A and B are shown apart, each in its own frame.
Chain A
């Protein structure tokens, strides 16, 4: 992939706007091509963006900025918001929820999916807010 131009998207922190932004994004001609990569990218971004809606902006929806740029390894995604920090100022490890026992988990899969599908994940908190960068590899 030689096209290194960035795709930038700004959206409001609601689940309806996340859905609309993903459909705008996935319709971009630059993202056409490998279906497997597109599916992984959409899953990762849906989980990251919905986590921001739910946890960074739990009461008042704020702004989310999304930047995508192609690199050799995959698509670098930078997601920024001005909401609440992540607990402990660290991105969750996203350990696999246990499927054993009678009480199956209904949640806790979001970060597990993110961690499973991306590399180079970094979280930074500064005066501006939260910034998450990660790479969704071209091939997995």
Chain B
């Protein structure tokens, strides 16, 4: 699971460098995210622009990451591609996460 993390002001930006978050890698995604968010503080922003496909296991892993951040820290998403966006909309998870159209839009917004 290739995740690239960098800190920008008060935001931990994680770029997912995989084209799928699916049942074959959902656990690795969750484990790598757990390591990354433990080393930082504040807002966490996941850039999903490279992710072409996400299934219910992948969705569950994203929810799990939000839950491990606790109520004090925000998890936001950017760059949902059409199939990923469908899964979020159908499950109404788009109402649970703050979702930005793309990375520049997400970064313009102060954390």
Contacts and interface: CB of A to CB of B under 8 A. Distances in A.
Interface of A: 15-16, 18-19, 35-36, 39-40, 42-43, 46-47, 50, 53-54, 96-97, 99, 103-107, 109-110, 112-113, 116-117
Interface residues of B, number: 25
B22 A42 contact: no
B56 A18 contact: no
Cβ-closest 5 pairs across A and B: A39-B83, A109-B56, A15-B24, A106-B60, A110-B56
Contact of A96 (B66, B67, B92, B95): B92
Contact of B56 (A47, A53, A99, A104): A47
Interface in B28-80: 53, 55-57, 59-61, 63-64, 66-67
B92 A109 contact: no
Contact of B87 (A16, A36, A97, A113): A113
B56 A107 contact: yes
B111 interface: no
Dominant SS at the B interface?
Answer: helix
B9 interface: no
Contact of A113 (B24, B56, B63): B56
Contact of A40 (B59, B64, B86, B92): B86
B24 to A, nearest CB: 4
Contacts of A35: 82
Dominant SS at the A interface?
Answer: helix
A50 B63 CA distance: 19
Given A15-B24, A104-B63, A107-B60, A42 B93 contact: no
Contacts of B93: 99
Nearest to B71: A102
A56 B53 CA distance: 24
A113 B56 CA distance: 8
Contact of B90 (A36, A104, A105, A113): A113
B103 interface: no
A15 B90 CA distance: 23
Nearest to A17: B24
Nearest to A110: B56
B98 to A, nearest CB: 14
